[in-house]
Amino acid sequence: MEKRLNGEAKKEEEPKDSICGYDSLHLLLKDNLNPHHFQEVSRLLTGLNSGKAIETIALPESATALSVEHGFDLQAFSFSADKEQLREPRVVRVGLIQNSIALPTTAHFADQKKAIFEKLKPIIEAAGSSGVNILCLQEAWMMPFAFCTREKRWCEFAEPVDGESTKFLQSFALKYNMVIISSILERDISHGEVIWNTSVVIGNHGNIIGKHRKNHIPRVGDFNESTYYMEGNTGHPVFETVYGKIAINICYGRHHPLNWLAFGLNGAEIVFNPSATVGELSEPMWPIEARNAAIANSYFVASINRVGTETFPNAFTSGDGKPAHADFGHFYGSSYVSAPDASCTPSLSRYRDGLLITDMDLNLCRQFKDKWGFRMTSRYELYADTLARYVKPEFEPQVITDPLLHRKAS
């Protein structure tokens, strides 16, 4: 199932943002370390689940055939939990899809959207035929990530919650008895056509369970998203589905520990992080933040990032004095899943579309709450008090100054 680019052979044509021609860090290490060193490095890098390396799982032939025919990365893993006496295992199969756009950004908008739908069909089919229970797509999967441009014409991609992207996915939800999380640019028709960055949660009966709107909007690099939509007004909802309690922390929200915390306080067992982010800006953060959130909140985190480089018709600047440019940089994919026990899956490809399938026993969440007691030892009342004071204009930081601070050394 693993696919790799051959490091040596690809050297000459290495992409700008490459890791030496390898599809992922995992494959680079696997190819260049002896098996024992690789095992030890993996133990430290990706942790152990129930005392052993995370296991791969076999998928139906129909799914692997689709991945070969359509050239998408397909990987599958399983997290286990200890056997309990009073509860049965609660194993949920989660699928994450990362994809590049399908047509140049200069194509007619309707064609661009339709081409993404067509491109995703076989990947969703592979997920469905593999028995995926909950499927999550990347942030704003139904459009190019045009927010770098500040041009308002891209607002045309926005849709109501029950618009064409939701309708497209509802049929798969029904066909495969799947919950689907679909992150779109939303146009709120009943509130004056206001635009939001929204995840729609489609139930396994094809129904719309609800929506969540992105809480934190980036103002960094070329991520000029505040030009397009407002800070979300839906709080931190947890959606209780037939497969477990799920929540969505959209992209830049992953830099905000309190955002992760609030989903945990509301009882989430899996938090999805549909994202769109580029290498130069955030790649060193990517393997850390979601994993930390999974550990700190005793839940699973499923991280999805888009793939590829999207070039726009008109150049834009980054407000940093450097030359204008027409692309955002490389969206590095690398979708992965983190568990409450600090283990994680290897990442999908940095370059190709992909489907990551992960079985997770949700009993692991409570087992780690019982083991580490992070909720019990959290002292929330201390922080509630600090925060309540901090948000007041008259707040003064609690600083104790050394009375000898300004005395010269003798």
At position 174, the amino acid (one-letter code) is: L
Work out whether 276 is an interface residue with ligand URP (CB under 6 A). yes
146 touches ligand URP (CB under 6 A): no
Segment 24-43, which members bind ligand URP (CB under 6 A)? none
- Does 251 participate in binding ligand URP (rule CB under 6 A)? yes
Q: Catalytic residue positions?
A: 139, 214, 251
Pick the stretch among 79-87, 233-241, 275-283, 378-386 that binds ligand URP (CB under 6 A): 275-283
Minimum Å distance from CB 311 to ligand URP? 18
Using CB under 6 A as the binding rule, whether residue 282 contacts ligand URP is answered as: yes
- Give the range of 31-39, 100-108, 277-285, 375-383 binding ligand URP by CB under 6 A: 277-285
Q: Is 361 in the site for ligand URP (CB under 6 A)?
A: no
Q: Is 43 helix (H, G, I), strand (E, B) or coil?
A: helix
The secondary structure of residue 251, as a DSSP letter, is: G
The minimum distance between CB 228 and ligand URP, in angstroms, equals 11
User: x/- site string to ligand URP, residues 191 to 230, per CB under 6 A?
Assistant: ---------------------------x----x-------
252 makes contact with ligand URP (CB under 6 A): yes
- Report in angstroms how near the CB of residue 229 gets to ligand URP at its nearest: 11
> What's the min distance (Å) between Cβ of 273 and ligand URP?
10
In the complex, what is the shortest distance from the CB of residue 236 to ligand URP, in angstroms, rounded to a whole number? 17
Does 260 sit near ligand URP (CB under 6 A)? Answer: no
Q: Tokens 């030892």 — which residue?
A: 377
Residue among 277, 336, 221 at smallest CA distance from 17:
277
Q: How far apart are CB 223 and ligand URP at their closest, in Å?
A: 4
Q: Is 290 among the residues that bind ligand URP (CB under 6 A)? A: no
**Is position 334 an interface residue for ligand URP (rule: CB under 6 A)?**
no
Q: Provide the minimum distance between the beta carbon of 145 and ligand URP in the complex, in angstroms, as a whole number.
A: 7
What the block records as the tokens of 395 is 């707040």
**Cβ-based nearer residue to ligand URP, 27 or 276:** 276
**Region near ligand URP per CB under 6 A, out of 205-213, 276-284, 339-347, 394-402:** 276-284
CA distance 305 to 277: 7
Q: Is 277 in the site for ligand URP (CB under 6 A)?
A: yes
Binding-residue total with ligand URP (CB under 6 A): 9
The CA-CA-CA angle for residues 83, 134, 65, to 5°, reads 100
Cβ proximity to ligand URP: between 132 and 294 the closer is 294
Q: Which is nearer to ligand URP, 282 or 298 (CB)?
A: 282
What are the φ/ψ torsions at residue 136 (nearest 5 degrees)?
-130, 135
Is 141 a binding residue for ligand URP by CB under 6 A? The answer is: no
Please report, as ranges, the residues that interact with ligand URP according to CB under 6 A. Answer: 139, 218, 223, 251-252, 276-277, 281-282
